Amino acid sequence: MVNEAFDTNWVAPVGPHITAFEQEVADYIDVKGAVALSSGTAAIHLALLLLNVGREDRVFCSTFTFVASANPIMYQGAEPVFIDSEPESWNMSPQALERALKEAAAENKLPKAVIVVHLYGQVAKMQEILRICKLYDVPVVEDAAESLGATYFGIHSGSMGDFGIFSFNGNKIITTSGGGMLVSNSEKLLERARFLATQAKDPALHYQHSVMGFNYRMSNISAGIGRAQLKSLNGKVDARRSVYKNYVDDLTSIEGISFMPEYHGSFSSRWLTVMLLDQTKLNVTPEQLVTYLNDQMIEARVVWKPLHLQPLFKGTGYYSHSNDNHVAEKLYENGVCLPSGSNLSPKDQQRVIKHIKECLKHSIGREAVI
């Protein structure tokens, strides 16, 4: 498909692969349409523009996520308010969201939108979240950047809110090397997104612009890569779920180790396998384990630092899961992202597991525990 783009000289941000890729993604997740863009961040930005988010507006957003989920709120001059995770899905807490919306309604300061992140390939509890948002008539944007291929009671991530966004960055489950997608069941709003993403050129023979636009469209070559990758998506999901299972089978016998759960109704793509270390039982921190693995030339990372703890968002509003339970902070204190690629061989995974055990053995000082 990439060769076809070169052969036909469609290398610009227009071309048949873009239209085809958009339709194939829309068909895969069962929505009416999609717009291929330069990044997932661009997709979130356009979603907020289409929802008329502007200066001094508020947008509620998951706190346990990468900064790209919230930066577009700032692009629009709006105020982010962060919502904690909950224990079963690790995603936005319906309990905290309901409390935040109730208080916002009492203050007559309801948000213009809620951005729900489907973290590490796991879908949030969308039935509860959509019910609460519908009660207050607040639109929902699904940041499904990490969860293409995941489902919730058989429904694909990204297809349940007013807008869904996907990322095809190099580290995602399928990639166009860089890129994203905005999806929706509103074809009218998607057409507006295309207009804004191509510098908002008015339909005139000359170059005329009445509103500010953006250079956000995906190239035909990138779309060709995406189409080829999409064909193997289900196989990549199966491979990552197998990687997750191997970690669980080998490591959960160690007291103090647990993994991101898959709660009732959810089917995770397992984009990343995330392990928790109970530091009351294991004398090792996530930072120590990550450093140890990196010294063995094994790439591992700590989990996302909650956005309400980031210097960039100092002073912003935040609602915890409950008064005495800050779920995202606990996950941050104990979580480690392990190598999880679809092409991770069993031999390489066993090497990772071996070094995890060695690190824990040295830290605990009791070989029998391992």
Active site residues per annotation: 172
* Nearest partner of 303 among 267, 270, 273, judged by Cα: 273
The answer to whether 182 touches 165, Cβ cutoff 8 Å, is yes
Task: Write out the two tokens for 47.
Answer: 């979603």
Residue 233 amino acid letter? L
- DSSP class of residue 10 equals -
Task: Write out the two tokens for 86.
Answer: 């909950």
* Nearest partner of 351 among 303, 301, 293, 302, judged by Cα: 293
Distance CA(261)–CA(66), nearest Å, equals 20
- Run of H or E including 275: strand 273-277
* Nearest partner of 63 among 102, 95, 92, judged by Cα: 92
Task: Write out the two tokens for 89.
Answer: 């899905």
Distance CA(24)–CA(49), nearest Å, equals 25
Q: How many CB atoms lie within 10 A of CB 351?
A: 15
Helix-, strand-, coil-residue percentages of the chain, each rounded to 5? 40, 15, 40
The answer to whether 34 touches 23, Cβ cutoff 8 Å, is yes
Residue 19 amino acid letter? T
The answer to whether 338 touches 273, Cβ cutoff 8 Å, is yes
Distance CA(211)–CA(208), nearest Å, equals 9
